[in-house]
Structure formats: C-alpha cells, structure tokens
Amino acid sequence: MDLGVFIPIGNNGWLISTTSPQYKPSYDLNLDVVQKAERFGFDFALSMIKLHGFGGPSEYWDYNLESFTLMAGLAAATSRIQLFATCAVLTLPPPLAARMAVTIDSIS
C-alpha cells in the first residue's frame, strides 16, 4: 500500500472556519510539507486543483497555487517521493498537460 499526503495549495487547509489558524499557501510551506513527507517515508504528494474559492468571511480556498508549476519546483527539491499534479480537464488541452508532465519528469 502506498501512503501519501495532500499538500496545502489552498489557504486555510481543509477547514472552513474563521477560528482555525489562517494562512496563505506558498512554495516554501509546500516545500516544507513535501520534504517532511519524503523524510518520513511517504510515497507520494498530491495537489488539488482549485480555480475559485468559496468566498465569505473565512475566504475558504480563495487563494491557491497552481498545481503543475508548484510540482515543477518541488520536483527539483525532492529525490524519491512521487508528485502528482492535477488540472481542470476542460481548461487545459491534453497534449499541453502531457508536455507539462514530461517536463516536470525531466526536472526530477
């Protein structure tokens, strides 16, 4: 069985709340999470795609990083962990998504 981690590419993680710790996603935050996951023996890291947040007082997922470009940066900074980027299928032509994935693979 493979074990992995969802990385925090959206603000405030998975909690729709104004009382939980508030943060905005960053490359440094995600790098720290993925490097720790790799060090602890996790097999993969997965990022979601989120094009629009929910708004409201919590600003839930109103701030997000882009999955493919984030994974390219993480690929250069990791050695063993598998990285899975995601994309909104109808917004990105499949040949372009494939080229992006091959490019990231060459970085790692």
**Spatial CA neighbour of 58 closest among 8, 21, 16, 4:** 16
Give yes or no for residue 98 having a pLDDT over 80.
Answer: yes
DSSP, collapsed to helix, strand or coil, labels residue 41 as coil
Domain regions of the chain by residue span: 4-107
Write down the pLDDT at residue 44. Answer: 98
Q: What is the pLDDT of residues 34-80, one digit of tens each?
A: 999 999 999 999 999 888 888 888 888 889 999 999 999 999 999 99
Global pTM value: 0.86
